[in-house]
Amino acid sequence: QKMEAIATLAGGIAHDFNNILAPIMGYAEILLMRAGSDEELKSGLKKIFDSAMRAKEIVAQILTFSRSREGEARPVSVTSIVKEVIKLLSSSIPKTISIETDIREDIPPVVADPVHIHQILMNLCTNAFHAMEDQGGTLFIGLDVVEKKGVKYVKLTVSDTGQGIPSEHLHRIFEPYFTTKKLGKGTGLGLAIVHGIVEVYNGHLRVDSKVGQGTTFEVLLPARDGLGQPEGLEHDHPSSESITRFSGSILVVDDEDAVRRVLKGLVQELGLDVETASNAKEALQLLVEQKKTYDLIITDQTMPGMTGIELVKSLRQSGIETPVIICTGYNSKMDKRMGRELRIVDFLLKPVDVATLHRTLKKVFKR
């Protein structure tokens, strides 16, 4: 019951935080698309956008912990994400801590959300850094392929030469909010998040630690045969040259004024005419009573009075077959079968960036 209460609280905080992030990300992207050749302006805007994306990834950690987000699983190159994280760590950790790596070149992909792989690695490396912060030491990151009971796994190893974990604490390190760190050095959520992610993907997590010698974590994730097109973790920066413009009309429905305004701005930047409604009742008045027509409806899921799904059901019962995209700041794991039955184009996790929005709109509009 305690875990369920914490998960509910975490999910609620994530929902509110996503709504705060939406205008920060959205207006940064709108300005990026209008920046033209001003490189100094674009550089500053990209920093705002990248910071917002990192905040979005932190929210994804909270949602992973609350189990309201299991991620968008697809073939992922663990190697590329590890190299990105190593590059980030090399410029951010003290020179008293050296980084050693042993990365096998022919690592197969795993089927996972790339953000989750990034979270696993960053949380384990952050723990290692804190363990060596005072006296320095060596952070080791390894990637290998192993076989266990006939199943091939990608093995990620993160080890440190820090102070180690006392044996009486080892059995508690994956508990939420359990930490032996000094105040301000951690939330006690990092390893709980890692444990949750590994479980989601049917992996294995092992820890070995000796006081005064250091700690080693091993993460095993099922390997995917066949490379396909594995993805890393990249932040797309929009520009007026790289974005396709569409032609048509959209109704945006969201009870959060700031979210509604920025989504309207983003859609307008993509060339579309936009009308807005602050709740499902207003949307029904426009669509059913006033018989207005649109090429697409983008609606929030969690709204007072009537949810996005309920709005779509009401529209379908009224004979309105307009395509719908549902956005949510809390739970992206909607019922896919219901989505097909209601002819929902896609479910998007807020805050929605231009690259994601653009890819989704391509499913509805022609160039």
Domain annotation covers residue 46: yes
Query: How far is it, in rounded angstroms, from Cα 182 to Cα 150?
Result: 43
- Looking at residue 229, its pLDDT comes to 43
Tell whether 175 and 205 lie within a shared domain: yes
- Looking at residue 332, its pLDDT comes to 47
CA angle (247, 249, 251) in 5-degree steps: 150
Instruction: Tell me the chain's radius of gyration from C-alpha atoms.
Output: 23
For position 263, which CATH number holds? Answer: 3.40.50.2300
Q: What is the pLDDT along the chain (367 residues), one digit of tens a residue?
A: 555 666 667 667 777 888 888 889 889 988 988 888 888 888 888 888 888 887 877 776 666 555 544 556 788 899 988 988 888 888 788 889 999 999 998 899 999 988 889 889 988 998 899 889 888 999 999 999 999 888 999 999 999 999 888 888 777 777 765 565 554 455 456 788 888 889 889 999 999 999 989 999 999 999 987 544 444 445 555 555 556 789 999 999 999 999 999 999 999 989 999 999 999 999 999 999 999 999 999 999 989 999 999 999 999 999 999 999 999 866 544 566 777 888 899 888 888 888 889 889 988 886 4
- Looking at residue 180, its pLDDT comes to 59
Which residues neighbour 176 within 8 Å (Cβ) at sequence distance 6 or greater?
Answer: 3, 6, 65, 188, 189, 192
Tell whether 82 and 195 lie within a shared domain: yes
Query: How far is it, in rounded angstroms, from Cα 145 to Cα 53?
Result: 31
Tell whether 214 and 95 lie within a shared domain: yes
Tell whether 171 and 45 lie within a shared domain: no
- Looking at residue 94, its pLDDT comes to 86
Domain annotation covers residue 241: no
- Looking at residue 181, its pLDDT comes to 55
Matching residue, tokens 């690259």: 355
If DSSP codes are grouped into helix, strand and coil, which group holds residue 37? Answer: coil
The domain of 135 spans: 78-222
Domain annotation covers residue 352: yes
Tell whether 61 and 87 lie within a shared domain: no
Tell whether 218 and 311 lie within a shared domain: no
- Looking at residue 233, its pLDDT comes to 46
Query: How far is it, in rounded angstroms, from Cα 277 to Cα 357?
Result: 19
Domain annotation covers residue 236: no
Q: Could you give the C-alpha distances from 55 to 61, 185, 208, in angstroms and in order?
A: 10, 18, 31
Tell whether 203 and 253 lie within a shared domain: no
Tell whether 265 and 346 lie within a shared domain: yes
Domain annotation covers residue 276: yes
* Structural domains in the chain (count): 3
Tell whether 130 and 261 lie within a shared domain: no
Domain annotation covers residue 23: yes
Domain annotation covers residue 157: yes
Q: Among 207, 222, 237, where does a domain finish? A: 222
Tell whether 208 and 335 lie within a shared domain: no
192 and 175 in contact (C-beta within 8 Å)? yes
For position 90, which CATH number holds? Answer: 3.30.565.10
Tell whether 173 and 133 lie within a shared domain: yes
Tell whether 110 and 190 lie within a shared domain: yes
What are the backbone angles phi and psi of residue 260, rounded to the nearest 5°?
A: -60, -45
Strand partners, 76: 110, 231
